[in-house]
Every structure is written in structure tokens, then in C-alpha cells.
A = this chain, B = another copy of it.
């Protein structure tokens, strides 16, 4: 099967929003190699454009591997050094995402050699503290106001917040690790890693239901996400071109939460109990009121006993946009699994990532409602939190954040 054939197939299969790596020369074989090249598959050869209205890694289908990091500027670094770092980071991200090989004599760990970019994306954001640290307090967006405290929070400050935020995603673990090391090297002397979390999603090709995502509770997740074909999708997720502050045009605000799942407790519940907590069937994600995964839940429907089929505290009732004044956010999470805790429970759950034009009309009202009466919350612990301003995508020749740092 020729490479052209495979690429053509992927395109026909509807890899929407992806530009497929065409040239191939960037990581083609050197003449000295012995093995004959086999057909490149779409997994390796898929590239996501670095330039565009929005940064990559928001609308990109969630990759199999993700790293999330926050960096803090070192005390000696100010606005000038931060701008230089964003310029270096942007150039490194652009090249790695395009699958360009390191040039001769360039320092490179070599970890990604032989591999295609495998849908690599790198996304950059700014935390509230960045603006104070760089003398840009007058440009701090109102949307970066600290999130309110929620009663179920048990947040670890050391794993929360930060000056700069980086999201790396790739369908290959070594490509993702290579990107992490390359970005960390570029930061040396300017910013230090504050925290890092890693997660995963289903591998491309592992399922024949590629739109269905399951979390580590075994539950279908993300069914009710706003979809790009929805009429008001862009307005919910992205800052409009006329929006304020102007340097955020095309950008989005991301809320990240490390949500540990109490899986030992959860797995002890019967299937019936679990389904009532969520409001959906576990097998296929259909609402308990009937139909299939994408059937609108009937929140009014009552059983023969007169009780609502979808209980009053069911997760899908509490989070339904119609019960939240239309609040909506685009969730694009990774699962995480960091082994076992000292108490023997799995240290596993969801790296929740929610994208929205304004957290006060997205995450905050929904989480407030969840905090008051969500059956699912009893099985969750919010352990870390961050809110970051993710500016729009760079134009050619521009670096991410240039309109903030030089505007």
C-alpha cells in the first residue's frame, strides 16, 4: 500500500482540520540506512498547522499522549526575556509540528528521529502572575480573575497556576517527550518548570467508535460537548476578533483541573448505581431516558414509580446547558494514571481541560452547580487547578503572544 494511498484514505475518512504531511522529505530516509522504508502511516505522518486563527491543540482531535506544564519566570527575567522565550518556543514548536529534522550541528536529543510528528501540537498560555512579573498588569484580562473556591476543592498550590502554560499532545509518546525536553531546554535561564502532568487518551485505531471517549470510570465522556458545526460554537469557545483585550482575538481561556477519581469506591457500586450517578447507560452512553448516545436526555421523564428516570442529582442533569443558562465549554481532557498512592488507591483520574471564551460563562457557573448537588462529585477530588489565557494562533513570522508582548 503506497503512502499516497494511506494519506488519501485518512483524508477520505474525515480527519477534519488536519493538514496531512505532504512533502515527506523532512524526515525521509538518509541513504546510509539499511532498512527499506515501509509505508508511512497516517498516524506518523499527520501534521497539524502551527499558524492559524486559533492555536493548535484546541480543536485538534485529542491525541493519545499529552503533557501539561507550567513554568515560572526566574527572578532575573522580565518582559524582554519572556518575549525572547516565546519567540524561541514558537519557532521550536513550528518546526517540530511540521516534522522538520534538526539541522546539522544543531543540539537535539534525537529522541524523535525516525518518527513523524504524529499529530504533534504545542499550545502556549499565560497565567495571571505572568502579567505582574512582566510589568503588563494593565493588559491583564478580566477573564483571568481567580476562580472561586469550591467546597470540594483540595488544591495543591504547588501543582496549580503558574506564569506560563504549555500543552503538548502527540500520538507518539517519544515525540511528545522530545518536544517536552526541547521546550525545557529553550527555557533554561528564563523559566523553570513549576509542575508537570502527563495523560493519555485512546490510541487512534483502537476503537471503531472514534468519536466516543471513555474515562477511567468506564463512562462515555464528552457526548454533550459543543460541536464545531453548532451555530454558536466559536462564540462559546473563542474570543471574537473584536473582543477585549484585543491581543486575545482568536484566543481562548483554558481551565485545567487535576481530578482524581476514587476508583476503588466507584468500582464497588453496582452498574445500576453508577448509571444513576451519571444519568447515562454505561454500555453505550445513551441517556437513561432512552435512545442512543446522542439522543437528547428527557429530564422530565418519570418511571413507573413516579421518580425521575434521570435522578435529580445525576451528573448530566446538573451539567445540562439548559439548567445552566446555556453555559458551555469545550472539554478536551486527558486521563492520567500515576501509579498507586501511599494509601493503596490508584492515583488516577482526569486532567480536565475546558476551553471557553469566558470562564465566568463556562466553567465557573457549571462547577458552582456541581459543587452544590452533583452525585458524581462524591467520587472525585479536585487536587490542582489553573486558569490560563491562550492567545490566538500566530500569523506567519509571528510568535505566540507577540501581540501581548510587543503590541
Q: CB within 8 Å of B: which residues of A?
A: 1, 9, 13, 29-30, 32-35, 37-44, 64-65, 107-111, 113-116, 118, 171-175, 177, 181, 185, 192-193, 196-198, 200-212, 214, 216-219, 263, 267, 282-284, 286, 292-295, 335, 337-340, 344, 346, 348
Contacts and interface: CB of A to CB of B under 8 A. Distances in A.
Contacts of A283: 30, 32, 110, 113
Given A34-B292, A173-B64, A284-B30, A111 B214 contact: yes
B284 A171 contact: no
B39 A208 contact: yes
A201 B348 CA distance: 21
A339 B286 contact: no
Given A181-B263, A214-B174, A294-B34, A340 B205 contact: no
A206 B171 contact: yes
Given A37-B209, A110-B219, A196-B339, 14 more contacts: A41-B204, A43-B203, A110-B214, A111-B214, A111-B217, A113-B282, A114-B208, A171-B203, A173-B337, A174-B335, A177-B335, A181-B267, A181-B346, A338-B339
Contacts of A339: 196-198, 338
B284 A42 contact: no
B43 A206 contact: yes
A267 B42 contact: no
B206 A115 contact: yes
A43 B108 CA distance: 30
Contacts of A196: 339-340
A273 B110 CA distance: 14
B118 A206 contact: yes
Contacts of A173: 64, 200-203, 335, 337
Contacts of A110: 214, 217-219, 282-283
A298 to B, nearest CB: 16
Contact of A344 (B9, B192, B205, B348): B192
A294 to B, nearest CB: 6
A193 to B, nearest CB: 6
Q: Which of A198, A209, A263 has the most CB of B within 10 A?
A: A209
A33 B209 contact: yes
Contacts of A209: 29, 33, 35, 37-38, 114
Nearest to A28: B208
5 contacts: A30-B284, A111-B214, A174-B206, A177-B216, A193-B344
A292 B206 contact: no
B207 A116 contact: yes
A340 B338 CA distance: 13
Contact of A205 (B43, B111, B263): B43
A212 B114 contact: yes
A233 to B, nearest CB: 20
A64 B203 contact: yes
A179 to B, nearest CB: 12
Nearest to A334: B173
Contacts of A202: 115, 172-174
A351 B47 CA distance: 30
A174 B215 CA distance: 8
